[in-house]
Amino acid sequence: MTILDLSNNKITHFSDGIFLHLENLQILYIQNNEILPIPGMFRGLFNIKWLHVDVFSICCAKPQSINVVKCVAPQNELSSCDQLINVPILNVGIWYIALLATFGNIVAFISSFTTFQKTTISYFTFCRNLSVADFLMGLYLYIIAIMNLVYIGNYGLNDYAWRHSGLCKFAGILATTSSEASTLFVLLITIDRVISIKYPFFQRQRGFTLGLTLLSWVVAIFISVAPILLEEVPFFADFYSKSPICISLPLSVRRQTGWQYSMVIFVGFNFIIFLAIAVGQIVILTEVMKSSRVCHSSNVRHREVALAKSVVSVVLTDLLCWIPIGIIGMLTFYGIDVSQDAYAWIIVLVLPVNSALNPMLYTLSTIVRERRRSKFERNLEDHFEVCQTNYKACHEEVNHKQRG
């Protein structure tokens, strides 16, 4: 026998030594089964030339043939038989992004408690929760980076076990919750800024602020947990297990279960929120420019320049994060595939970049401005006291001379 077709037979495993008497077999078809790869599963296939399989991980158990074995399988965008993340730069970069996302957000969260004023309590409430959301992304990146080290040199044979593990599902929930909560809190921060500029005397109630915060977390957690709660439904089957990095993004032409849900959330919902953020930032900049025409002071111009830089930074980082995902998502929707390298870079670096930059764009930059303003106000007070003291001394000297 030189050709054997075992496809579409619902096979789950091969018994050890099942191919020992098929030394002449050259072509083997085993697609559309549920076979888990194990070492030595193809033992005995000494003359095999072609191996047609469902998943790349089965190729990692290919036989020791005297020929060059060509294993035909769907390409994996991220992983190889040796590594979970098969891009050398990303293997290192993921650690730095995780460090920035965790350490930066911890510093921003702690620092905000020593800086906020009563007039900015809603702003700093949203900023603190933004820090928590982005911190979750850092934890997710650490999970992926650590598991990449655990499976280094032998990932292919452990691919199924990792993707269907509870830790992988937990990592997927963390990443989805973080990305959606972060997006919602950036939107709330933008709305809060617009209200502060257009209606400076409008008092935001603490209860209303806490209500919006709770609602944002509920929405983000519901979006991430819904596929797990409904995993018995075929539409959501193995939702977080379709990717080795445990997050289901619609960035491949291969249709996985729940891809419509991912398309609606990561492309449609997030794109609408980004447009609202961009409009809000433009409104902020326009209002500040209007005020500068009325008050031609250096302080106002300095504030305008600082705010313009903040607006550009916010819009650019959102562009860098969500526009590539939206564009590639729409391309794959129409059947246009992207390169494996582009997929890997977007998944590992582009998606978490906001989590690393948000502390600097929002909380930390505001803390620096608040402290500078406080220092400036203290200097003014000291200067006023000196002037007042000198004035009193001079006034007493004049009175003394007049009496003399």
Q: Which top CATH class is 100-382?
A: mainly alpha
Q: Which residue has the tokens 């790349």?
A: 56
Q: Which two tokens stand for residue 54?
A: 């469902």
pTM: 0.78
User: Could you report the per-residue pLDDT of 112-170, keeping only the tens digit for each?
Assistant: 777 655 546 777 788 889 889 989 988 999 999 999 999 988 888 888 889 889 999 99
Annotate 274-315 with DSSP letters as a single string.
Answer: HHHHHHHHHHHHHHHHHHHHH---HHHHHHHHHHHHHHHHHH
Q: What is the pLDDT along the chain (404 residues), one digit of tens a residue?
A: 888 898 888 888 887 778 888 888 888 888 888 888 887 788 888 888 888 888 888 888 877 777 778 888 876 667 888 888 887 777 888 888 888 888 888 887 887 777 655 546 777 788 889 889 989 988 999 999 999 999 988 888 888 889 889 999 999 999 899 989 988 988 888 888 788 777 766 666 778 889 999 999 999 999 999 888 887 777 778 888 888 888 877 666 566 777 788 788 887 888 888 888 888 878 877 776 776 565 555 555 555 555 555 655 666 666 666 666 666 766 666 666 666 566 666 666 666 776 767 666 665 555 555 555 544 444 444 444 444 454 445 445 445 544 55
CA distance 103 to 212: 26
Residue 110 sits at the vertex; the CA angle it makes with 105 and 113, to the nearest 5 degrees, is 130
Q: What is the pLDDT, as a whole number, of residue 217?
A: 95
CA distance 239 to 292: 52
Residue ranges of domains in the chain: 1-74, 100-382
Q: What is the pLDDT, as a whole number, of residue 147?
A: 92
Reduced to 3 states (helix: H, G, I; strand: E, B; else coil), residue 119 is helix
Residue 371 · residue 119 · CB < 8 Å: no
